[in-house]
Amino acid sequence: MSLQPILTAGLPTQIHLAVVLVAFAIGTWNLVRPKGTAPHKVLGRVFVLLMLVAALSSFGIHALNRNGFSFLYLLSIFVLITAPLAWWSARRGRIAAHRRAMIGLYVGGLWVPGVLTLLPGRLLHRALIGS
């Protein structure tokens, strides 16, 4: 394991990784803890904001396609649409829609791209496993 690939990555990548790691921890916590409590609501708002920052910062990462957009940007667009909808659903008391959106954010916005970052040649693969 080596932090060198992360330390030499660009600032958008470093911001993205830091935000995603915190969002993953908060998202996991909120999924397993009681719902509707004050901590759940506060952490849920923080999670949504972190996911928005993660999605926006991803547009500054061009590791897969140096000249344009990668298919992974579709996941960022998904997050940019779903995060506000999840928050709005909770505010409107549409708990089932809120639950679906938040689980979608957690899985589609964190797990799917997280697994893809472990593919050979990707930054986290180099950092955690080596080249």
CB 98 within 8 A of CB 86: yes
Question: Average pLDDT for residues 19-26, to the nearest whole number?
Answer: 98
Token duo for residue 15: 């911001």
Per-residue pLDDT of 36-58, as tens digits, reads 999 999 999 999 999 999 999 99
Token duo for residue 6:
């992360």
Q: Is 109 left (phi over 0), alpha (psi -120 to 50) or beta?
A: alpha
Mean pLDDT (whole number) for 121-125: 85
**Residue 48 · residue 14 · CB < 8 Å:** no
| C-alpha span between 42 and 115 (Å, rounded) | 27
Q: Which own/partner pairs from 31-38 qualify as long-range (CB within 8 Å, at least 24 positions apart)?
A: 31/103, 31/106
What's the rounded Cα separation, in Å, for the pair 24 and 87? 17
pTM exceeding the 0.85 threshold for the entire prediction: yes
Backbone φ and ψ of 3, nearest 5°? -85, -5
Opening angle at CA 57, ends 54 and 62, nearest 5:
125
- pLDDT at position 22, please? 98
